[in-house]
Amino acid sequence: MIYDSGIILEPGTVLRGCKIVHPRGTVANVDIEIRYTVNTTLPDGSAARRSGCAFIGVPGEIEDLIKVFILDLEKPEDDRSGGAL
């Protein structure tokens, strides 16, 4: 997940009740645990933070979300639908 550099999310932080919109229009309600955070620079030169996350929640909803992101990563760059967290 990439976000504003002014926000600090420490590893171990749990974000509860996150709503992630599935590309098919359904919404998954999950908790997200921050695993790591690094500083990064966006293509426009602005500073941002990138965090690796683990989904915590109902296994069926999480499995479906993971499949979407894995399948999206396997598509050629120009075929991606642009789904975001």
- Give yes or no for residue 66 having a pLDDT over 80: no
Domain borders along the chain are 2-76
What is the pTM for the complete model shown? Answer: 0.66
Confidence class for position 28, pLDDT limits 50, 70, 90: confident
> What single letter denotes the amino acid at residue 72?
D
- Give yes or no for residue 83 having a pLDDT over 80: no
Confidence class for position 39, pLDDT limits 50, 70, 90: very high
Domain 2-76, architecture per CATH: Beta Barrel (2.40)
SS3 6: coil
Element (H, E) at 79: none
